[in-house]
Copies of this chain bind each other. A is one copy, B any other.
């Protein structure tokens, strides 16, 4: 009898380490898939014309990881995808640094794109992570006063 091997189809990480694009791609790529869609967030040098010095990401860690896993599971239910990686950074990030990478593999590129967009849209709505922008003359919690 062949052993049943449960292949891991979801990779969720919340880390103070630098996020690794190649690692996300290597996790999702699959010989049965023709395409991988990836979204990479990068820290912008300005918001509303103010120059950003650095960002500080904090999270309700246990819940954030749970919510990211939920999004990955929903993506598997809603779209025909093979694997999905959702990696988010925490702590201090400089201009050009990467707060988030989402990678999705699918036999069909349309599903890969749609699942990737769904995941980043959902993450920005529901995952308990907060960004504080530090300027040269102060700091502000993003989205706190919409």
Which residues, 71 to 119 on A, are CB-close (under 8 Å) to B? 95-96, 105, 107, 109-110, 112-113, 116-117
List residues of chain B with CB within 8 A of the CB of A15: none
A76 and B59 CA atoms in complex are apart in Å by: 36
CB <8 Å contact, A35 and B31: no
Given A39-B36, A120-B109, A45-B31 contact (CB < 8 Å): yes
CB-contact partner of A32 in B30, B36, B45, under 8 A: B45
Chain B nearest Cβ from A41, distance in angstroms: 5
List residues of chain B with CB within 8 A of the CB of A42: 29-31, 33-36, 105
A21 at the interface (CB under 8 A from B): yes
Interface residues as binary, A6-50 with B (CB distance below 8 Å gives 1, 0 otherwise): 000000000000000110010001111111111111101110000
CB <8 Å contact, A40 and B35: yes
Which residues, 44 to 77 on A, are CB-close (under 8 Å) to B? 44-46
A125 and B38 CA atoms in complex are apart in Å by: 22
List residues of chain B with CB within 8 A of the CB of A25: 21, 40
A123 and B30 CA atoms in complex are apart in Å by: 22
CB <8 Å contact, A96 and B31: yes
List residues of chain B with CB within 8 A of the CB of A107: 44
List residues of chain B with CB within 8 A of the CB of A105: 42
Chain B residue at smallest Cβ distance from A42: B29
CB <8 Å contact, A95 and B39: no
